[in-house]
A and B are shown apart, each in its own frame.
Chain A
């Protein structure tokens, strides 16, 4: 395969990845993405996995989970996060979340909210003291 052919192939795979990155919340038909990438479904899956280390389906799940983590950390409920990122079943979302993150979505959300509150009230807990001094932060404001 010459360089231009390889570059063209990469551009098509990257376009497919970026499509997943921006449309993860919608029902995504991977066959359609393969068509857009001008590949057969099996060729598309093989190439995508060779480049990104995951099948398109697994990659889509990981993108959805990452966005769910962000939403949960912002304080959204588990049901809201599940729906917002495109999971159809809350049970499969919760199971996949626990397998990947090693804690339930509810436990993760609680931990993140506790951390967020602490970050606002006691930010000095999160910053090495040398930087606190270099930034000129007045510690008494947080004591």
Chain B
């Protein structure tokens, strides 16, 4: 029986820029920041109220996971905004939207009423897009 999701992965184009975006703009907490040698860095962050879920900010680069051509293709796809990586939730979408906008986060969709509550869409510094939702009780 599967019990929990502990790690998930977001492909980023620059880990230091991603660190700044997720930690200083979104307010996520650094869980693990470990140098692995030869320029490889294992960097995970957690949403402020979900410390058990590590989000890996995984650098798209040539290596065992991606050959040179695939890494280049992935870079193009990520930067074009191909990947919708996750849904985040917040207690008050309008306040969160105002705060993140003030911090320079780019929204593709302003807070909008949906069947399940309110939703907005923002993009990270690499091009990944996320839903930000304020869910109503169901």
Which residues does A use to contact B, with CB under 8 Å? 6-7, 10-11, 13-15, 17-18, 51-53, 119-120, 123, 126-128, 131-138, 141-142
Contact = CB atoms under 8 A, between A and B. Distances in A.
B42 interface: yes
Nearest to B33: A119
Contacts of B42: 123, 126-127, 131, 135
Among A6, A7, A14, A18, which residue has the most Cβ atoms of chain B within 10 A? A14
B40 A135 contact: yes
A45 to B, nearest CB: 15
B5 interface: no
Contacts of A17: 95, 99
Interface string B63-101: 111000000000000000000000000011011001100
Contacts of B126: none
Interface residues of B, number: 22
Given A123-B42, A126-B42, A133 B64 contact: yes
B32 A126 contact: yes
A10 B98 contact: yes
Nearest to A118: B34
A16 B56 CA distance: 32
B32 A6 contact: no
B104 interface: no
Contacts of B99: 14, 17-18
A119 B32 contact: yes
Contacts of B92: 51-52
Contacts of A142: 37
A68 to B, nearest CB: 14
A3 B57 CA distance: 37
Contact of B36 (A6, A10, A135): A135
Given A128-B7, A133-B64, A134-B65, A123 B98 contact: no
B102 interface: yes
A18 B102 contact: yes
A91 B116 CA distance: 46
Contact of A14 (B35, B38, B98): B98
Given A10-B94, A51-B92, A127 B34 contact: yes
A131 B34 CA distance: 13
B65 A135 contact: yes
A134 B95 contact: no
A13 B98 CA distance: 10
Contacts of B102: 14-15, 18
A6 B95 CA distance: 10
A17 B27 CA distance: 13
A129 B78 CA distance: 25
